[in-house]
Copies of this chain bind each other. A is one copy, B any other.
Amino acid sequence: MNYYLGLDIGGTFVKGVCMTAEGNLLAEEKCDTGCEHGGAVMCDNIANLCAKLRRKVKGDLNGVGVGCPGMIESVRGVVKFAGNLGLKDYPLGDELARRLGVPVKVTNDANAAALGEARFGAGRSFKNSILVTLGTGVGGGIIIDGKLYEGGCSVGAEIGHMVIERNGDMCTCGRRGCFERYSSASALTRYTKHAMEEDAGSAMWGKYTSQTCTGKTAFEFMDTDRTAKEVVDWYIKYLACGLVNLANIFRPEVIMLGGGVAAQGERLTKPLQAIMDKEIFGGNNYAKVLVVPASLGNSAGAMGAAALCLE
C-alpha cells in the first residue's frame, strides 16, 4: 500500500498523520516543536515523528508534505519568515528531505488546511472553495479549480489582511482595519469582554467574568441576554463583510469556516448565509456561494499537508 505523511507545525506541537491518497487515516502522532532550540532541533524532532509513524504502518512512503506557519516560499520549501517559530530564510524542505531521504513539499499552514478541507472535508464536492480560519488571527486558503492557490511567489492568500474598515483598529501587520482585527476568535472575545464591562446587568456575569469569557460566551447567552445577542450580531456583521468581499473576488462555490468559533454551526452560518445571499454582487440567482463549517477540525492542516503530494 502506498501512503503519505502530512505534518502540521504549530508553535508548541507538530501533528503528524499517515494516510492514503483517498484520505484514510492510518496513523497519527505528535511531538514537541522545540523551535526554541532552533530549526535543526525542530527538524530532528519531526524526523523522529516521521520514523514513529512509519513504524506503525506497512507499505511504501510516497511523499511527505508540511504545513508551516509564516511566509513560505513553497517552490523551494523555504520559510522566508515565521515569527513564532523564530525562523528566517530557513530551508525547511531541504533540511527535512535530507533527514528523511525523500522529497518534502512545504506550504503555509493555512493553505495546507484549506487543501485538506477541499480534498477530504467540507469542500470535497466543490472545485472552488475558500477556507477561512477564525483563530488568534484570520487565516485562510484558496482552492481554484481543485488546486491550491497560494498567490504570486506563494505568499499571497493573506485574506486576514484585507482592510474592511479604513482607519480602523491597528493590526499586527502595520495597517489599520484588517479583516482579522474584527473577525478572529480573539476579536470576538475582546468584544465580549468589552460588552460585559459596559453592562453590569448582563446574564453573562452569572457564569463568566470579563477575564474568563471566551469566544463561546456570547453565543452561549445569545438567546437569553440582549448584550450577548448584540455581541454575536456585531461579530457576524464584520465577518460577513469580509466573506462577501471574498465571494465577489473569487466567487467560490463554498466558503468554509474553521477554528473554534465554527463549532457554533448554524448559529453562525445561517445569518452569514442570509447576508451573503442578500449582498453578493449581482445577486445569488447565478453562482450562489455557500457558507458552511469546515469538517476536519484540527486534522485539516496535517491531512492537507499530505495532500500536497497529490497535487
Q: Which residues of A contact B (CB under 8 A)?
A: 71, 73, 80-81, 128, 144, 149, 151-153, 155-159, 161-166, 168, 173-175, 237-238, 241, 244-245, 248-253, 278-279, 281-282, 286-287, 289
Contact = CB atoms under 8 A, between A and B. Distances in A.
A161 B71 contact: no
Given A245-B162, A248-B161, A152 B253 contact: yes
A60 B252 CA distance: 39
B156 A251 contact: yes
B251 A286 contact: no
Contacts of A252: 152
A163 B155 CA distance: 23
Given A149-B144, A166-B165, A281-B173, A286 B155 contact: yes
8 contacts: A71-B286, A73-B286, A144-B144, A158-B248, A161-B248, A163-B241, A173-B281, A175-B279
Nearest to A282: B71
Contacts of A249: 151, 156-159, 162, 249
Given A174-B279, A282-B80, A287 B155 contact: yes
Contacts of A144: 144, 149
Contacts of A164: 163-164, 166
A73 B286 CA distance: 9
Closest 4 pairs between A and B when the two form their complex, measured CB to CB = A156-B251, A153-B287, A152-B251, A151-B251
A46 to B, nearest CB: 24
Given A71-B286, A162-B248, A163-B241, 17 more contacts: A80-B286, A81-B282, A144-B149, A152-B253, A153-B251, A155-B251, A155-B281, A156-B249, A157-B249, A158-B249, A162-B162, A163-B244, A164-B164, A166-B168, A166-B241, A173-B279, A173-B282
Contacts of A248: 156, 158-159, 161-162
A304 B277 CA distance: 32
A85 to B, nearest CB: 15
A66 to B, nearest CB: 19
B163 A245 contact: yes
Contact of A151 (B155, B162, B174, B250): B250
